[in-house]
Structure 1
Amino acid sequence: MNIKKHIPNFITLLNLFCGCLAVIFAVKNQLEIAAFFVFLGIFFDFFDGFAARMLKVQSELGLQLDSLADMVTSGVVPGIIMYQLFNKSLDIHEKVNDGHSWSDSWHWFQNEVHFLPLFGLLIVLASAYRLAKFNIDENQTSSFIGLPTPANTLLIISFPLILMYQGSEIVDAIILNKWFLIGMTLVSCYVLNAKIPLFALKFKDWSFKNNAVKYIFIALCLLLLVFLQFLAIPIIILLYVLISLVKNN
């Protein structure tokens, strides 16, 4: 039995396990804990491919398993997080307006369900479509077309973390504005499936000459994270897209 070929798949399953835990805590609206497991899952998602390339055991099974794991960690979780952000926005608006809601709702088994928060689940659908396309697209072996689901998830998960650790009246008002959340949901769905060529953080060797853009991007990310903390994440995603566009033109 060749144990070596199973190592990347085991790492992928760790990603899936973290995604399942993140779903549980996201549904409970414990978004800080959900974010922790998302970060851990994305860490495993990066290293399963790295391990497969290093051990030279890439396989079709590994590719399919990776996308299935990503569908949970980087597909379902960000949709639930956006759903919870919409709910938080709705709660604040109802308090300001003495309980009068701006969101239509219906009752389901004695539970009031609002329509607008369900809009955030479009991210789940867009992520599924993006991952399905990725699995059959032979042009995305060394780069990406459209924003990868883990990057999109980092963008979405940054909003509740900013609210928790770097919130202010202005920041809170922006992030919890229904139009901002609607806009971010639509932007998220678009960039996941847009025909935008983006570089991948995959290293065939460690030379600076062949990986200059990647090393510069990583250095900028570290600097931004040190100085801006969670506020750096949306900037990093934007920087990733801009650098990719410049690099491919």
Structure 2
Amino acid sequence: MNIKKHIPNSITLLNLFCGCIAIVFVTKLDFEMAFYMVCLGIFFDFFDGFFARLFKVSGPLGLQLDSLADMVTSGVVPGYIMFYMLSNSQHEISSSPLLPFLGFIITLGSCYRLAVFNIDTRQTNSFIGLPTPANALFILSLPLVLKYSDSLIVLEILTNQWILIVITLFSAFILNAEIPLFSLKIKKFNLKDNALQIVFLCFSFLLLFFFQYLGIPLVIIGYVLLSIVSNVFKLDEKKNR
């Protein structure tokens, strides 16, 4: 029995387990623990692929398990969070009990993105559209920003139904948008090939250090914007050749 081939899939299942626990914490309105469980799940999500490559046991089963685990941790959980936020938002649009269910549009967008990722050969070294873990961190940070921020502007923004619906729709869009986003994987150990990643990591560290939970959505937004700027420069370089 080859134990090595089961290690990556076991790590993937730990990701799924973390997602299940996060759902339980959301039902208890403990968004902080839900956030940390999703973070732990994303940690496992990174290392299952790492060990699959290390042990040379990558295969279709691992690919499918990975997406199914991400569907819960980075799909169901953020949708549930947005459901809660819409349930407790100011009634700018409607007080209908059905409106909060629109939060699960994030889950639907995540599901579609994961299915496309499995068959899209363009996303081996970079991403097209925002990865589901990054989107999950963005959404899960919102109730924590709301909880720990003293700003009335933040309070008004994150309790406004219109804004929450826009965030929900934009989240589903950016997951599946045809926007190339750079990968954070460092494959060549030299400054030139990793300059973008290093700039982003330093930028992220500063935002998280100074803004704590508020820094998380700022980091995700910065990731998308930096990727777009990088794409523009690459297009200019091609035109000038």
Q: TM-score, normalised by structure 2?
A: 0.91
Q: 1:199 aligns with which of 182, 186, 193?
A: 182
Give the residue type in structure 1 aligned to 2:112: Y
1:227: which partner in 2? 210
1:158: which partner in 2? 141
Deviation, 1:57, is 2.5
Deviation, 1:70, is 0.3
Give the residue type in structure 1 aligned to 2:95: S
Deviation, 1:71, is 0.1
1:140: which partner in 2? 123
Q: Is the 8 A contact 1:50 1:202 kept in 2?
A: no
Deviation, 1:127, is 0.6
Aligned length: 232
Q: What CA distance in whole angstroms lies between the structure 1 residues aligned with 2:149 and 2:226?
A: 27
CA RMSD of the aligned region, Å?
Answer: 1.7
Deviation, 1:17, is 0.4
**CA shift digits 1:141-173 (9 cap, x unpaired):** 111111100010111011111112224322111
Matched, 1:83 2:83: yes
Deviation, 1:42, is 1.0
**CA shift digits 1:182-201 (9 cap, x unpaired):** 11001001001110111122
Give the residue type in structure 2 aligned to 1:226: F
Matched, 1:180 2:156: no
Give the residue type in structure 2 aligned to 1:76: V
Give the residue type in structure 1 aligned to 2:210: F
2:12: which partner in 1? 12
Residue correspondence of structure 1 range 9-88 to structure 2 within 5 A:
9-88=9-88
Give the residue type in structure 2 aligned to 1:59: G
Q: What CA distance in whole angstroms lies between the structure 2 residues aligned with 1:139 and 1:88?
A: 40
Are the structure 2 counterparts of residues 49 and 31 from structure 1 closer, same or farther at C-alpha, using a change threshold of 3 Å?
A: same
Give the residue type in structure 2 aligned to 1:6: H
SS of corresponding position for 1:216: helix
1:189: which partner in 2? 172
Q: Is the 8 A contact 1:122 1:185 kept in 2?
A: yes
Deviation, 1:238, is 1.3
Listed as ranges, the gaps of 5+ residues in structure 2 are 233-241
Are the structure 2 counterparts of residues 15 and 123 from structure 1 closer, same or farther at C-alpha, using a change threshold of 3 Å?
A: same
Q: What CA distance in whole angstroms lies between the structure 2 residues aligned with 1:124 and 1:2?
A: 36
SS of corresponding position for 1:248: helix
Q: What CA distance in whole angstroms lies between the structure 2 residues aligned with 1:181 and 1:19?
A: 23
Q: What CA distance in whole angstroms lies between the structure 1 residues aligned with 2:187 and 2:54?
A: 9
Q: What CA distance in whole angstroms lies between the structure 2 residues aligned with 1:49 and 1:146?
A: 20
Q: What CA distance in whole angstroms lies between the structure 2 residues aligned with 1:33 and 1:232?
A: 18
Give the residue type in structure 2 aligned to 1:12: T
Give the residue type in structure 2 aligned to 1:63: L
Q: What CA distance in whole angstroms lies between the structure 1 residues aligned with 2:189 and 2:19?
A: 30
Deviation, 1:239, is 1.1
Q: What CA distance in whole angstroms lies between the structure 2 residues aligned with 1:60 and 1:102?
A: 45
Q: What CA distance in whole angstroms lies between the structure 2 residues aligned with 1:82 and 1:53?
A: 35
Q: Is the 8 A contact 1:15 1:42 kept in 2?
A: yes
Are the structure 2 counterparts of residues 20 and 192 from structure 1 closer, same or farther at C-alpha, using a change threshold of 3 Å?
A: same
